[in-house]
Amino acid sequence: MYNRECIVFINFTNSKSLTLTHFNSLNMNAEDQILETLKQSEKPMNAGQIVEKTGLDRKEVDKVMTKLKKEEKIVSPIRCFWTAK
């Protein structure tokens, strides 16, 4: 279960460092959360991975990603995987 008001993620980027990502849903809309998640990821991500990282609903992620694709804010270097432009 995710707390919609405040979500904190710990991303282990390599064995010597870690990155904390804080999403406050009152200040960040779903589009911002998805873009920020993709920007912080070292590898392209699929929608399921974005759902896990953000705690957003899968339907909402799919809808926002469709919008981001049309606006050319995200690109797909590998089929079904996305990264921020």
7-51 pLDDT, tens per residue?
555 555 554 444 445 554 445 799 999 999 999 999 999 999 999
Taking a C-beta distance cutoff of 8 angstroms, is the pair 42, 77 a contact? no
Please report whether residue 39 resides in a domain. Answer: yes
- Which range of residues forms the domain containing residue 43? 29-84
Q: Which residue has the tokens 């809808």?
A: 63
**pLDDT at res. 27:** 56
Name the domain count of the chain: 1
List CB contacts of 61: < 8 A, sequence separation 6 or more. 30, 34, 47, 50, 51, 54
**Residue 74 in this model has a pLDDT that exceeds 80:** yes
Question: Domain with 80 in it: what CATH number?
Answer: 1.10.10.10
Please report whether residue 52 resides in a domain. Answer: yes
Name the CA dihedral angle for 36, 41, 43, 48, rounded to a multiple of 10 degrees: -70
**pLDDT at res. 28:** 74
